[in-house]
Amino acid sequence: MNAHEVPTIEDWKTLIEAEYREMPGLTLTKPQVRRLWHLEPQVCDAILKELVSSDFLEHTRNDVYVLSSSRRH
């Protein structure tokens, strides 16, 4: 991807997955995810929904997103 291309949902998923793999204890709220990666609300929602449905992330009852327990090994 060059500097003028707009990142796709897949690009963002790849980046966020890499960050969570690098820091397995990372816990972020949705607003923190949006701020960290400068995401629009709809884009953030779509990315988090896909990462949770693919069992990469878990959305906890404390309203944070963490690496799925199946990925922490």
Chain segment 47-56, per-residue pLDDT in tens: 999 999 999 9
Quote the mean pLDDT of the chain.
92
pLDDT digits (tens, 9 = 90+) for 11-25: 999 999 999 999 989
2 burial via Cβ count (<10 Å: 0-12, 13-18, 19+): exposed
Phi and psi at residue 62, to the nearest 5°: -85, 10
Other C-beta atoms closer than 10 Å to the C-beta of 44 total: 19
Residues 20-44 have a mean pLDDT of 96
The predicted model gives 39-49 an average pLDDT of 96
Question: pTM, whole model, 2 decimals?
Answer: 0.86
Q: Which one is the CATH code of 9-71: 1.10.260.40, 1.10.10.10, 3.40.710.10, 3.50.50.60?
A: 1.10.10.10
